[in-house]
Structure 1
Amino acid sequence: MEFLDCEDEKITLCGLIQDLGFLFVFNNNKRCIAVSENVSLLTNTPLEKYLDLNIDIILAALTGNDKLDFETIEDSFNTSIFYRFTEKIIINNENYDLSIYRYNDHTYVEAEICNKNQLKPNRLYYYAKYLEENKTDIWKSLTNIIRQIINYDRVMVYQFLEDSSGKVIAESKSENIHSLLGYRYPEFDIPKQARELYTIFLARHTADIDGATHKIISNDRADIDLTKTSIRALSPIHLQYLRNSKVSASASFSIIKDGKLWGLVTCQNNTPLHVDLAQRHLCTFLTQFATNHHISNLLKKDIELQNTMHILEKDLKGDLLINRDTHDVLERFGEKIMHIMNADGLYLKYAKNEKSFGIIPDRNQLQEIHNFIKNDIGIISSNQYKFSSGINQLPGVMAAEILPQSDWKIYLFRKERLIEEIWAGKPEKHLQYDATKKISFPSPRTSFDAWKQITGNTSSPWLKIEISFLERIVFLIQQAIAKRNAEIEQLNKDLVRSNNALDTFSYTLTHDLKNPLSSIKLGAQMLLMKNDIPRELLLKLANNILDASALITEMIDKVHELSKSNSVALNLEILDPKSNILSITEIAKNQYGVDGLDFKMGEIIPIRGERTLIYQLFLNIIGNAVKYSSKQKNPKVEVYSTQSGTMVTYFIVDNGIGMDLQKENNIFDIFQRLSNSSGYDGSGIGLSIVKRIIDRLGADIRVESAVGKGTTFEIIFENAE
């Protein structure tokens, strides 16, 4: 048995027009390909005679003259804002509205009878003014005006809801009929293809549900699409639906919002009554006028809410950026967020803490929500959430993970609303069987008596603007956390640099201070050992002691400076290290007892650096060169420099014990001593200090060495500002 759904009915290919006028259809060659069968009444000419006639000939027959030139009319479709040409004409002493329009490569010529009482155009201003002055309840005002224009018993505004069912939200009616205000209608009362048609063609009507209809006769018996034909007859199922609801005439005007069908102005009359083209055009215009007011009011409310949200976002962002305790900020703003979202409860979850406001579910239900959203990204919302355990008092749930794959979450809750809904008849389908066609199809509803239903386990729906607001709040929190993480990362980097610098100067206290202390010690010993010291030698010893003391003081100051700041600020300047090199070499000779050292100093080019670090750098490298050459038969150390552009390279060359660079581990690692260095004092700190200083100065260092043949250090400085 075949089943025919309401949505399968081809309502635009019904092949019938109402007994309100005549219809002609033309192809691209301007030849008539179809006519309504009643056209024979126009001139007592058989309808077959009209087929294949040129459009201008038929227009002349309809108007009684040849003033209408279709070529001019057709040009207006392409060059102006008008997609339908209309003009008043007289046929057999009756006033008609002539309409010419194009649809799907066909041209339609439609003649529709006018009502006896002609609409007065000058009333448009007053209708618009009435809507403007009564815009507080714009839909009620619209029903009042349209009922006055078409004189129907009932005019309703019918809004489509989220589940595609509908609800009467405004009504104007005669006193002798009962109200349908607030009544609900099921989705299947207006099938999908009907809604699509209402989006394309904004005004439909039937003057008499039991009135005569006329077939469309085409030359090739093809179905003619009547999507935009004003006098198209309604489908049999729709006509029966109107009969069952005790309506004899019907009209409707589409409410289009954002390009979608938002609702209908539905008009019903208990007796047959025609709404002619002029009336429909005016009602369509006023419907759109009211729709624009409705949209404007919604935008105004949205703007007010957005301004409130924006102020909260601004305050939240400011506090998040200033206050490092994100938890504290969120807890202070939690109640404000809850109220602005029209929520009854809010729950904040952190890694090791939580905070709630208002009414929230129990612990098991919170865990259930957590399990539900853990694999989702973004905002999850529902106004009909069903908990599997506990009392289901909060079906309105909106949830978001602040940090993915973490325990940072924000949940909002709304309480259940018990709604008593009144339906126009029980919302259920009944099937009817056609034994002739062997088809089952939905039967139009027969009962429209009030049927009450109490709806529970639902909350007020979450608005798009509310969802968007929570998305922005989550983004602000994520930004603050990311900024905080970036700050922590930077602090860690600064800490590493600080520790490195601290290490450098700490090593100085245990390693590099030995040299100036040795100089002081030697000077003091000579003063004690000799009674008659020549004045020249005395001055020299005193200067050595003073220089060594100054160096120690400077090094200690650096350590103290480091202890008060994140990193040591380097005071870079152009330095001439010649005197330091000579002093360091002399001290090293005395320290390691190298009396016969062959020391050569070539050209010494000034370099850009920090005074203390440069001293330490040469102290460690030259000190090592002297130390590891000290036991050679003819110890040699040479220091010189070269320049290439802004780059200055210093060479420190010795003929000491050397090293195997392929076998040795990184010689710059701390406490790393050479495998052949036994018998030489040292702790493996010197070259580590050298590497840290090189990094701090932005210099570079290279080493060439061979076991038993000595070592060459190259230090490359950048002298550019």
Structure 2
Amino acid sequence: MEFLDCHEEKITRCGLIQDLGFLFVFSNETCCIAVSENVIQLTQTPFEQYLGLPIDRILAELTGSSTLVFEDIDESFKNSIFYRFTKRIVIHNENYDLSIYRHNDHIYVEVEIYSDIQVESNKLYYYAKYLEDHKAHIWESLATQIRQIIHYDRVMVYQFMEDHSGQVIAESKSEDMHSLLGYRYPEFDIPKQARELYTIFLARHTADTDAATHKIMGSSQEDIDLSKCSIRALSPIHIQYIKNSKARASASFSIIRDGQLWGLVTCQNNQPQHVDLSQRHLCTFLTQFATKHHISELLKKEMEIQSAMNVVEKDLKSDLLIDRNTFHVLERFGEKIMPMLHADGIYIKYATGERSIGLVPNTEQLQEINDFVQDDDSIFSTHKFKYSYQGENILPGVITTEILPNSQWKIYIFRKEVVIQEVWAGKPEKHLQYDDSKKITFPSPRTSFEAWKQITRTHATPWLQVEISFIERIVFIIQQALAKRNAEIDQLNKDLVRSNNALDTFTYTLTHDIKNPLSSIKLGAQMILMKNNITTEQLHKLANNMLDSSSLISDMLDKVHELSKSNSVALNLELLDPTSKIILIAESSKNQYDVTHLDFILGAILPIKGERTLIYQLFLNIVGNAIKYSSKQEKPKVEVYSTASDNKVTYFIIDNGIGMDLKNGNNIFEIFQRLPNSSGYEGSGIGLSIVRRIIDRLGAEIKVESSLGKGTTIQIQFDN
């Protein structure tokens, strides 16, 4: 007897589309190879007559005009950020949405019905403003907005948990429906291949679970991949699942965070209801917009926690400098960090003693932890450690770390169990069915979504990544203090090298980085002198640019002056938004290198922790170089954007300039090092050496990818 699991179902190769649309599939040679059998309802032409026809002929029939040429559409895919062409068309006095895109080796043309519920594009600003004004409750606000747009009975925000199960964290619903807020759903409700599809295609819907579906008919027997098809029919198991939940229509929009599926906006309606292309696009945009705000708020909260932790770290450093007895310092320190980590106990062990604070496992349980992590030389953390030896205190939340490798110096941190009553939407268990005709056993969709309660024990509140990172930094501080006492001279030498590097960085500034703000001042003055009819607004803008440039020069000179007196500069690190500086650098560089036709794309810009003068210099050199070395291209293009992952923010600066040959050991960060293909461009070979020193000073990381004649991509990763 064969068993078919949910994740084995080929949901993207079902060969069926929904009744709300029509599909044409073309080969790379733009010859029609497959058509949905229902196309006769749209054009009164049988599907067989379309097979083998070129795409432009079919587009002309659909649009009633020969002005839509696929070659032009295909070229637009290459030169824009859009991968799908859409257009509103009229066929037999009925409105439809036309959609064209490439996927793998095929070209797809979709035609779907047009909803009577219109999306007003001029309200996009107000939708975004609403989310910004209600960012403290971003998911509730998103659910409310999407429900207003698609007019569904229920809209939920569903977050995936650590074990791939999910929980409803926000909801907007009709008054006559019972709430599902807080309900849990098992992992097998959304199988693995469905989660993967949600990651690459962000909007899915079915307008009517009882509507007919239509086959895709073709001249060949190949299996058509419908991964990115908006009108693909859902799998029978999924359709039955929706019916069992008492819904007739369903839609979902993916919440992607750090490239992973974080959750879904799940929508249900008791009656058939089509969510058309414009509605789906708007809902997808708002979902991504809300996700960005969610990430931004998380970063702000992490920064607040880190600020408090930084105070403790500084106190620990001071205590280790003053008190030569490291054991006493650690014991005092343990009492300080317990409330910060929301810990219930700390156990500190060293070669000659030990100290327990708060709730700590018994001796047998401690040994059990040691046996479990003995081969792990880094930090170990879990919120559900299972003990064989039961003691008075159940402490499943555990963090352990060695202060020194292969030593008796260790720190253990504990959290007690939290008893949680979880409410599940139906009992989370699989039911199997047997298909006698196919001789296959397969999972049956759940039939019950009635509240089912479960008590969860032996779990603690999960540790946050910022808390684990805090312990890592604490261990590093202690290791530094111990190393300093064993090698004071070596440490002094390191400090001297670091000081000299900082001095070099600011010294080079005088002959290199000041040129850019000086150029801005000069350009502004020239425009004031040369233009007789300059407006007050233009004059005000020029004056502000000149003042900003003067301020930057003053800051740089101040740093050099500080160095001349002390040989070191203490960086004043703060959370910075470099957006305005990047725009100023881009505008100034466009004028400096005469690149008026530059395509400059500024994507998401996240705040970073740094010193504002150094951050300005960093982007000045990298963005300035990107513009300079792409200035002679026919269509110069520079893109700047950032992403967040864990405690890191990564900036990407991408250009289509002359590129660099990195294969022959060329050290692009060496001072006065210029590569052979850079002749004809002004420069002294100092810029990237300054970048290297600033990166080291800020504790950041830089990665360069480049090919001759194809451009350069630079990644800068900041610790936040």
Where in structure 2 are the equivalents of 1:84-233 lying within 5 Å? 84-233=84-233
- Cα contact 2:393–2:416 (8 A) shared by 1: no
What amino acid is aligned across from residue 263 of structure 1 in structure 2?
G
Equivalent position SS for 1:436: coil
Residue number in structure 1 paired with 2:354: 354
Deviations 1:262-289 (A, max 9, x none): 0000000011000000000000000011
Correspondence 1:80 to 2:80:
yes
Q: State the distance in 2 between where 1:8 and 1:136 align.
A: 40
User: Displacement of 1:43 after TM fit?
Assistant: 3.0
User: Displacement of 1:339 after TM fit?
Assistant: 1.9
User: Displacement of 1:10 after TM fit?
Assistant: 0.4
Deviations 1:95-144 (A, max 9, x none): 11100101002111111111123211112111111111111110000000
- Cα contact 2:19–2:212 (8 A) shared by 1: yes
Residues 318 and 442 (structure 1 numbering): CA distance in 2 closer, same or farther, change over 3 Å?
A: same
Residue number in structure 2 paired with 1:60: 60
Residue number in structure 1 paired with 2:377: 377
- Cα contact 1:26–1:55 (8 A) shared by 2: yes
What amino acid is aligned across from residue 134 of structure 2 in structure 1?
N
What amino acid is aligned across from residue 7 of structure 1 in structure 2?
H
Deviations 1:660-718 (A, max 9, x none): xxxxxxxxxxxxxxxxxxxxxxxxxxxxxxxxxxxxxxxxxxxxxxxxxxxxxxxxxxx
User: Displacement of 1:348 after TM fit?
Assistant: 0.8
Residues 93 and 451 (structure 1 numbering): CA distance in 2 closer, same or farther, change over 3 Å?
A: same
Structure 2: which 5+ runs fail to align?
Answer: 492-720
Equivalent position SS for 1:60: helix
Residue number in structure 2 paired with 1:449: 450
Equivalent position SS for 1:241: helix
Equivalent position SS for 2:217: strand
What amino acid is aligned across from residue 466 of structure 2 in structure 1?
I
Q: How many residues align?
A: 490
Equivalent position SS for 1:22: strand
Residue number in structure 2 paired with 1:400: 401
Residue number in structure 1 paired with 2:439: 438
Equivalent position SS for 1:332: helix
User: Displacement of 1:21 after TM fit?
Assistant: 1.6
Residue number in structure 1 paired with 2:476: 475
Where in structure 2 are the equivalents of 1:281-430 lying within 5 Å? 281-389=281-389, 390-430=391-431
Equivalent position SS for 2:395: coil
User: Displacement of 1:315 after TM fit?
Assistant: 2.2
Equivalent position SS for 1:467: helix
Q: State the distance in 2 between where 1:68 and 1:199 align.
A: 31
- Cα contact 2:138–2:294 (8 A) shared by 1: yes
Where in structure 2 are the equivalents of 1:545-556 lying within 5 Å? none
Residues 489 and 105 (structure 1 numbering): CA distance in 2 closer, same or farther, change over 3 Å?
A: closer
Root mean square deviation, CA, Å: 1.5
Deviations 1:614-658 (A, max 9, x none): xxxxxxxxxxxxxxxxxxxxxxxxxxxxxxxxxxxxxxxxxxxxx
What amino acid is aligned across from residue 202 of structure 1 in structure 2?
L
User: Displacement of 1:357 after TM fit?
Assistant: 1.9
User: Displacement of 1:350 after TM fit?
Assistant: 1.3
User: Displacement of 1:321 after TM fit?
Assistant: 3.0
Q: State the distance in 2 between where 1:45 and 1:375 align.
A: 70
- Cα contact 1:392–1:457 (8 A) shared by 2: no
What amino acid is aligned across from residue 59 of structure 2 in structure 1?
L
Residue number in structure 1 paired with 2:581: none
Equivalent position SS for 1:361: coil
User: Displacement of 1:485 after TM fit?
Assistant: 3.0
Q: State the distance in 2 between where 1:234 and 1:269 align.
A: 16
Residue number in structure 2 paired with 1:258: 258
Q: State the distance in 1 between where 2:490 and 2:324 align.
A: 15
Residue number in structure 1 paired with 2:467: 466
- Cα contact 1:22–1:36 (8 A) shared by 2: yes
Equivalent position SS for 2:487: helix
What amino acid is aligned across from residue 60 of structure 1 in structure 2?
A
User: Displacement of 1:172 after TM fit?
Assistant: 0.4
User: Displacement of 1:332 after TM fit?
Assistant: 1.9
What amino acid is aligned across from residue 304 of structure 1 in structure 2?
E
User: Displacement of 1:487 after TM fit?
Assistant: 5.7
Q: State the distance in 1 between where 2:370 and 2:52 align.
A: 71
Deviations 1:479-529 (A, max 9, x none): 222222336999xxxxxxxxxxxxxxxxxxxxxxxxxxxxxxxxxxxxxxx
Q: State the distance in 2 between where 1:405 and 1:488 align.
A: 25
Residues 489 and 407 (structure 1 numbering): CA distance in 2 closer, same or farther, change over 3 Å?
A: farther
- Cα contact 1:6–1:191 (8 A) shared by 2: yes
User: Displacement of 1:245 after TM fit?
Assistant: 1.0
Q: State the distance in 2 between where 1:401 and 1:328 align.
A: 17
Structure 1: which 5+ runs fail to align?
Answer: 491-721
Q: State the distance in 2 between where 1:489 and 1:132 align.
A: 52
Q: State the distance in 1 between where 2:173 and 2:457 align.
A: 32
Q: State the distance in 1 between where 2:289 and 2:79 align.
A: 25
User: Displacement of 1:42 after TM fit?
Assistant: 2.9
Deviations 1:137-175 (A, max 9, x none): 100000000000000000000000001100000000001
- Cα contact 2:359–2:393 (8 A) shared by 1: no
TM-score by length of 2: 0.67
Where in structure 2 are the equivalents of 1:567-606 lying within 5 Å? none
What amino acid is aligned across from residue 445 of structure 2 in structure 1?
P
- Cα contact 1:169–1:181 (8 A) shared by 2: yes
User: Displacement of 1:318 after TM fit?
Assistant: 2.8
Q: State the distance in 2 between where 1:489 and 1:78 align.
A: 55
- Cα contact 1:39–1:47 (8 A) shared by 2: yes
TM-score by length of 1: 0.67
Fraction of identical pairs, as percent = 70
